[in-house]
Structure formats: C-alpha cells, structure tokens
C-alpha cells in the first residue's frame, strides 16, 4: 500500500489529495484522516465501490454507512424532504464538525449505503485533508471508521495499516486525529419530532441542547450496562482482545480488584487518570490523562485500547467517568469495550 505523508510541503499535499481523489473516482478504497477517527472511504454513489468497504472491514451488511460531504450543495441531492427547522440549526452550529445527521434518503443514495433503510446518515467533516479530498473527488464519500470490524477505531495511520494493510489502495497519513472518538449521531429525519441522539460523540448533549434550546432525547440502544453483562456479537464493538473490566469508585477499590486478579495468577493492566498514578500498582499502567481534561482522555482512549493488546496482560481494569459532557461518549465506548 501507499502511505502519503501530507506534511512535507504544499506540492506533496496537492499530490496526495489528487491521488486520493483519483483512487476514489476509480471506485477503489482510500483511508483518510478526519477530525474524529480515520475513515475508510469509497465513492458513496457507487454500489460497487461501497460493497468493497463491507468486504475489507468484515462489516455486517445491515450496518449503514455515513456519507461525507464537503458542501451543502452536496447535501440536497441526497435527502428527500426539505431541511427541518432543527436540522438547519444543527447544521449552522456544528458543520463542518463531528456531528452526523440522519435524514430521509433520496433515490440517489444506493441501498448498500443505507442498508436498505429509508434514511441516510450525512456528515460534513472539518479536517482539512478530508475536506480537500471530498472536494477534489467531487462525490459524497461513504466512510466508516477505518478499522477491522470489532477493533477500536483508528486514530493514527499506523492503526489503519495494522488492520487494513494490503487491502486498500492508499492510506493518507495526516497524523493523530483530534477528537479521537467518532461523531455524535443525531436523527433529524422526522421534522415533527425533536431530534434524537443515537450515538454520543464529539459534540456533547449539552452543546446540542444549547444550540436547539430544548432537551434532547437520547436513544442509544447499545449504551446500557446490561448489554455489557450479556454481550451479543452486536455489542462487541471497540473491543480489544484483552478482557476489559470497568471499575467504579475510588482507587482503593481498583487496587483491590487488581490484587485479587494477581492472586489468581493473572497479569494486570490498569487504565487510570494521572491523579491516581501514585495510588495504583499493576503490571502495566496506562495513563489516560488528567481527570479534568476529558478531551485528552477521549483523544487517547482508542490508542490505549489498541496498545493493551500488545502487552502481555490478561485483563485491563479501566476507571469509570461521570456521564457528563464528553464523559458520556467516553463511557459509551468503554461499555462497548468491556466484555462481560
């Protein structure tokens, strides 16, 4: 495969954007950075190209994809009804950025993208490379996260090559992504009803409510702790191979869990905030960041979840967070990472 480093100079940047756009127009796959995580892109209007995404990722075909656009002019042909009042406000406030909106789909959107639903997910990313590639390709780009299905989403080009090396035409290396967690998904497909959050992410519930001046309905079907206790294949997203266990409460509770596990002969890693470093002793310690800095914690989370699989440990204990602001998205991903 081809790794293009975009930070060399202006000419290299141009070449890299041109190459990516060329590959996309040829109905092949390109992995590229966005401000959330790396995406695995294909021409979103080509059934043939989009099918390759499902093959390469090992993604179930009933899981629909997000179409990435560069301008509002690209939105209108994809959706059926005029924009609802709420949709307009959310677009005004948060695009370009880590917000995906669900609209009624037009006939132009191939069923392979929507998994046969009558709605379509659309996002206008803010990352300059993503924007240029979409503009140059001049088509909406279908792109899920560029990981093998079930692995944590990639926040660095190296993560993409770990999972997809040799299976995509190019990987565009734009360094680390900013948010580190996927976009917030909000359903605005029914103009009569208030928008619903389907997946928490980079844009928080609080920010959405402030922009709209109303309370949000959160309908994250995968969120609850119950699902972690009885994980079907459906919920095995974002999972490292290592057993992940979430631990509430003060650091002495976590230390007790670590000690018990070690007594059983297990090797133990602990993912904790920097405030706890002095208080926790384990075989491996992953520092998530300062407890007050959820942004840093979310931007490094997937990197830690990938790193732990390369360590010689049997179990990872992760400290939990209050489900406010970004804490909501962080906990959502941690629930999914935790095996029963």
* Residues at the interface with ligand TXA (CB under 6 A): 34, 36-37, 39, 63-66, 98, 100, 102, 114, 117, 119-121, 123, 143-145, 182-183, 185, 198-199
Residue 76 Cβ, how far from Mg ion at the closest point, in Å? 27
Does the annotation list 145 as a binding residue? yes
Q: For residues 130 and 315, which CB has a smaller minimum distance to ligand TXA in the complex?
A: 130
Residue 237 Cβ, how far from ligand TXA at the closest point, in Å? 8
Q: For residues 234 and 324, which CB has a smaller minimum distance to ligand TXA in the complex?
A: 234
The CA distance from 116 to 62, in Å, is 8
Comparing every residue's Cβ against Mg ion, the nearest one is 145
3-state secondary structure of 137: helix
Residue 153 Cβ, how far from Mg ion at the closest point, in Å? 5
- 103 closest CA partner among 220, 35, 198: 198
Query: 64 touches which of Mg ion, ligand TXA, none (CB within 5 to 8 A by kind)?
Result: ligand TXA
The CA distance from 110 to 128, in Å, is 27
Query: 243 touches which of Mg ion, ligand TXA, none (CB within 5 to 8 A by kind)?
Result: none
Give the helix ranges, DSSP H, for the chain: 10-25, 47-57, 72-75, 85-94, 111-114, 128-137, 157-164, 205-212, 225-229, 251-263, 294-308, 326-337
Does the annotation list 221 as a binding residue? no
Q: For residues 218 and 256, which CB has a smaller minimum distance to ligand TXA in the complex?
A: 218
Query: 90 touches which of Mg ion, ligand TXA, none (CB within 5 to 8 A by kind)?
Result: none
The CA distance from 248 to 251, in Å, is 9
Bridge partners for 204 per DSSP: none
Q: Are 327 and 207 in contact (CB under 8 A)?
A: no
Q: For residues 99 and 294, which CB has a smaller minimum distance to ligand TXA in the complex?
A: 99
Q: For residues 65 and 197, which CB has a smaller minimum distance to ligand TXA in the complex?
A: 65
Binding mask 128-157 for Mg ion (x = CB under 5 A): -----------------x------------
Does the annotation list 143 as a binding residue? yes
Does the annotation list 199 as a binding residue? yes
Query: 46 touches which of ligand TXA, Mg ion, none (CB within 5 to 8 A by kind)?
Result: none
Does the annotation list 183 as a binding residue? yes
Does the annotation list 273 as a binding residue? no
Instruction: Confirm or reject binding of residue 184 to Mg ion (CB under 5 A).
Output: no
DSSP letters spanning 232-263:
-GGG--S--SSEEEEE-S-HHHHHHHHHHHHH
The CA distance from 80 to 213, in Å, is 26
Strand ranges across the sheet with 119-123 = 3-5, 170-173, 30-32, 39-43, 141-142, 66-68, 119-123, 99-104, 184-187, 196-199, 217-218
Does the annotation list 59 as a binding residue? yes
Residue 30 Cβ, how far from ligand TXA at the closest point, in Å? 12
Residue 293 Cβ, how far from ligand TXA at the closest point, in Å? 21
The CA distance from 135 to 118, in Å, is 26
DSSP letters spanning 184-216:
EEEE---TTS--EEEE--SS-HHHHHHHHTSPP
Can you say which residues are annotated as belonging to the binding site for L-threonine? 36, 68, 123, 143, 183
Binding residues for Mg ion (CB under 5 A): 145
Binding site for ATP: residue ranges? 59, 63, 119, 145, 153, 199, 238
């Amino acid at each position: 495969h081809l790794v293009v480093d975009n930070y060399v100079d202006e000419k290299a940047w141009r070449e890299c954007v041109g190459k990516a756009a060329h590959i996309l127009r040829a109905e092949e796959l390109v992995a590229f950075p966005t401000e959330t995580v790396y995406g695995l892109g294909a021409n979103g209007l080509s059934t043939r190209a989009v099918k390759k995404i499902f093959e390469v990722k090992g993604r179930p075909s009933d899981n629909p994809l997000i179409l990435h656009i560069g301008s509002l002019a690209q939105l209108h042909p994809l959706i059926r009804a005029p924009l609802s009042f709420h949709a307009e406000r959310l677009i005004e406030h948060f695009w370009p950025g880590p917000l995906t909106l669900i609209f009624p789909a037009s006939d132009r959107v191939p069923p392979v993208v929507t998994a046969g639903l009558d709605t379509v997910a659309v996002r206008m990313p803010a990352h300059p490379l993503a924007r240029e590639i979409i503009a140059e390709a001049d088509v909406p780009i279908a792109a899920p996260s560029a990981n093998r299905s079930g692995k944590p989403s990639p926040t660095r080009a190296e993560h993409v090559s770990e999972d997809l090396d040799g299976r995509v035409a190019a990987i565009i290396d734009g360094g680390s992504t900013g948010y580190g967690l996927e976009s917030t998904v909000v359903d605005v497909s029914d103009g009569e009803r208030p928008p619903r959050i389907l997946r928490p992410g980079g844009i928080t519930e609080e920010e959405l409510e402030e922009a709209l001046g109303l309370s949000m309905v959160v309908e994250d079907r995968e969120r609850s702790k119950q699902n972690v206790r009885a994980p079907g294949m459906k919920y095995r997203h974002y999972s490292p191979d290592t057993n992940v266990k979430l631990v509430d409460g003060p650091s002495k509770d976590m230390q007790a869990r670590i000690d018990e596990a070690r007594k059983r002969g297990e090797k133990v890693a602990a993912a904790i905030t920097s405030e706890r470093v002095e208080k926790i002793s384990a075989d491996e310690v992953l520092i998530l960041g300062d407890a007050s800095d959820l942004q840093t914690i979310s931007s490094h989370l997937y990197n830690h979840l990938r790193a732990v699989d390369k360590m010689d440990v049997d179990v990872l204990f992760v400290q939990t967070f209050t489900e406010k602001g970004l804490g909501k998205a962080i906990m959502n991903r941690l629930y999914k990472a935790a095996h029963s």
